[in-house]
A and B are shown apart, each in its own frame.
Chain A
Amino acid sequence: MLYAILCYHDEDFVGSWSKEQDAAVMKKLAAVQEKLAREGRLGPVARLLPTTAATTLRKENPPLVLDGPYAETKEQLLGFYLIDCKNLDEALDVAKDLGAANPGGAYEIRPVGTFVPGGAVK
């Protein structure tokens, strides 16, 4: 069975880490990831860029583009995609296509900072 682990934390707080603190945390996490990778259990890992770089697309007709991260609490996170795009407009086009196929709810579009493709998961 595949499990997704979604990471939540206070962005102001993480943003106040010194470069050394940040690197130390990443190093500790990498150690955990390495073990999983050796066992062939690690899928892709992504560290997202700050929510200030986020855009939200409400899947309405016509779709509504909003600045900032997804802020509602009455809807729940149900899945995610990783798509290679030239720029934000291209990412929004993909999101609009997906939204047309499955209206209702919203997509939050966030650039990825660090990406580890991960080993093959059986």
Chain B
Amino acid sequence: MSETDAAWIDAALTSARPQAVGALLRYFRDLDTAEEAFQNASLRALKSWPQNGPPREPAAWLIMVGRNAAIDEVRRSRKQQPLPEDDQAISDLGDAEEQIAERLDGSHYRDDILRLMFICCHPDLPPTQQIALALRIVSGLSVKQIARAFLVSEAAMEQRITRAKARVADANVPFETPGAVERSERLAAVAAMIYLIFNEGYSASGDTADIRKPLSEEAIRLARLLLRLFPSEPEIMGLTALLLLQHARADARFDAQGALILLEDQDRMLWNQKLIVEGLALIDKAMRHRRSGPYQIQAAVAALHSRAPRPEDTDWQQIDLLYGALELMQPSPVVTLNRAVAVSKVKGAQAALDMIEPLAPKLANYFHFFGVRGAFLMQLGRNDEARVAFDRAIALANTSAEAAHIRMHLDRLMRDSKPPGKTAGN
């Protein structure tokens, strides 16, 4: 098999996987059996495709072959006679494959993929397990790859995934075609899970960003897949736009030492224009529906940043309004904190500080609260108080990049306060 063949088959298996495993899961109603069947079919594909040429519909081929292989397995394990027509399944595949391909064109299969994704979002599973399970089952990443992205040992990740699977198996997710309400509930859960995967990659610090970046890219692939299945859902457009617009800034977010660079200090030439154009097109599409939602609003904020050629061109007033809408929809101190940053640009640091003071009890252990508070105090020239806030932020930092970023502020405060009589602020 040539290298081109291997790469081609690899891409074909990856792209067919959600659909094929989803259909096999509906058929066998058991995750392990479905996965094993797909695995078997993939092995046969590696043997058959280079010789016989690739099938017209790889997903249909894999479903067909996987199903036959699993049925054989079940019969064999029941200690019945070995089946003579073992390989017949492959030889007269043509018609059956076409039939399946036809059915895949229908709306049927989008529920298969949605169900497969939804199974990974069981509410009993902690977020890290949801993500690991989705990457294993839906994306087909190896345990080794997932372990690497999560910076844990392979054995630990294997255990995490096994535990998650056991829990999912007890959950009894229904296999009937879902109704409209159920479908939209599933869609919301899956969207949240995709956003978790993205953030797992996005929140990496500078030294691990390259290792974890594939997580963000995989989340974008899954979001596009979901959007293709549900092309008229504005929140899925919003989610996809949000991921694209945030990911577009990936190359500008860290300096050579791996320290975080704030949005307003980033080199905008490093932003990926292709991703931005796609994200902007999607948010434009979503807005036309006039059915706002949290992902759309966050994407709209990201779009305003993307549309500003320079930081001073940013439409902070509009961002303030958007966060205001998000506060109404999803009241949370973190949203208010984000809004305060916009308010500081529009009405000044004092107004912003007044806005976040009431959040203190709720965000007493939140890194960003103290980082933002310190920055407002610094702008007001209240350097001693700013230093206290920054010290607290460093103590709460989640990554070394976060801590390094705050230390930079502290250094500036030190520098500014050294010459006697000089005050900070500009």
Binding site for B on A (CB under 8 A): 10-13, 15-17, 21, 49-53, 55, 65, 67-68, 87-89, 111-114
Q: Is the Cβ of B225 less than 8 Å from the Cβ of A68?
A: no
Main secondary structure of the interface of A (DSSP, over half): mixed
Q: Provide the bound-state CA to CA distance between A21 and B225, in Å.
A: 20
Q: Given B7, B16, B240, B274, which contacts A52 in the complex, CB threshold below 8 Å?
A: B240
Per-residue interface assignment for chain B, residues 11 to 28, with 1 indicating a CB less than 8 Å from any chain A CB and 0 otherwise: 110111000000000000
Known: A12-B225, A89-B284. A111 touches B11 (CB 8 A): no
CB contact between A10 and one of B15, B240, B277, B281 (< 8 Å): that residue: B15
Residues of A within 8 A of B409 (CB): none
- CB-defined contacts of B284 to chain A, threshold 8 Å: 87-89
Quick check: A113 and B278 within 8 Å, CB to CB? yes
Query: Is A67 a contact partner of B224 (Cβ separation < 8 A)?
Result: no
Complex CA gap A102/B231 in Å reads: 27
Question: Is B285 interfacial (CB-CB < 8 Å)?
Answer: yes
The B interface is mostly helix, strand or loop, or mixed, namely helix
Partner pick for B228 among A13, A49, A51, A87, CB 8 A cutoff: A51
**What residues on B are CB-neighbors of A111 within 8 Å?**
277-278, 280-281
Selected contact of A15 from candidates B15, B16, B240, B274, CB within 8 Å: B15
Residue from A10, A21, A52 in contact with B224 in the complex, judged by beta carbons closer than 8 Å? A52
Q: What are the residues of chain B within 8 A of A113 when measuring CB–CB?
A: 274, 277-278
**B359: chain A residues within 8 A (beta carbon):** none
Find the A residue at minimum CB distance from B11: A16
Which residues of the other chain, A, contact B11 by a CB distance below 8 angstroms? 13, 16-17, 21
Residues from chain B with a CB closer than 8 A to the CB of A89 are 284, 288
Give A16 Cβ to nearest chain B Cβ, in Å: 4
Q: Quick one: given A16-B14, A65-B288, A113-B277, are A21 and B7 in contact (CB under 8 Å)? A: yes
Question: Are A88 and B274 in contact, CB atoms less than 8 angstroms apart?
Answer: no
Say yes or no: B278 contacts A16, CB within 8 Å: no
A50-B278, A52-B227, A114-B274 given; A67·B15 CB < 8 A: no
* Minimum CB distance partner of B10 in chain A: A16
Shortest distance in angstroms between A89's beta carbon and chain B's nearest beta carbon? 7
A15-B221, A68-B232 given; A53·B281 CB < 8 A: yes
Residues of B in contact (CB 8 Å), total: 24
The answer to whether B221 and A52 touch across the interface, beta carbons within 8 angstroms, is no
CB distance from B8 to the nearest CB of A (A): 9
Quick one: which of A10, A17, A88, A114 contacts B285, CB cutoff 8 A? A88
Interface membership of chain B positions 237-262, coded 1 if the CB is closer than 8 angstroms to chain A and 0 otherwise: 10010000000000000000000000
Complex: how many Å from CA A21 to CA B231? 27
B99 CB, min distance to chain A CBs, angstroms: 20
Q: Which residues of A contact B224 (CB under 8 A)?
A: 15, 50, 52
A21 to B280, CA, bound (A): 26
Q: Assess the A16–B281 pair: CB atoms within 8 A.
A: no
Whose C-beta in chain A lies nearest to the C-beta of B220?
Answer: A15
Assess whether A55 is in contact with B285, with CB atoms less than 8 Å apart.
yes
Residues 184-199 of B at the A interface (beta carbon under 8 Å): none
Whose C-beta in chain B lies nearest to the C-beta of A55?
A: B285
**Could you say which of A11, A51, A87, A89 has the most chain B C-beta atoms within 10 Å of its C-beta?**
A87
Residues of B within 8 A of A49 (CB): 274, 277-278, 281
14 contacts between A and B (CB under 8 A): A10-B15, A12-B15, A15-B15, A17-B11, A21-B7, A49-B278, A52-B231, A53-B278, A67-B232, A67-B237, A87-B284, A88-B280, A88-B285, A89-B284
Q: Which B residues touch A16, using CB under 8 A?
A: 11-12, 14-15, 221
Given the known A-B contacts A10-B15, A16-B11, A53-B285, are A67 and B231 also in contact in the complex, defined by CB atoms under 8 Å?
yes
Chain B 219-235 interface mask (CB, 8 Å, partner A; 1/0): 00100110110011000
Q: How far is the CB of B4 from chain A (nearest CB, A)?
A: 10
With A and B bound together, what is the CA distance between A13 and B228 in angstroms?
14
Q: Which of B225, B281, B285 is packed against the most chain A CB atoms within 10 Å?
A: B281
Contacts of B225 in A (CB 8 A): 12
Contact of A52 with B282 in the complex, beta carbons under 8 Å? yes
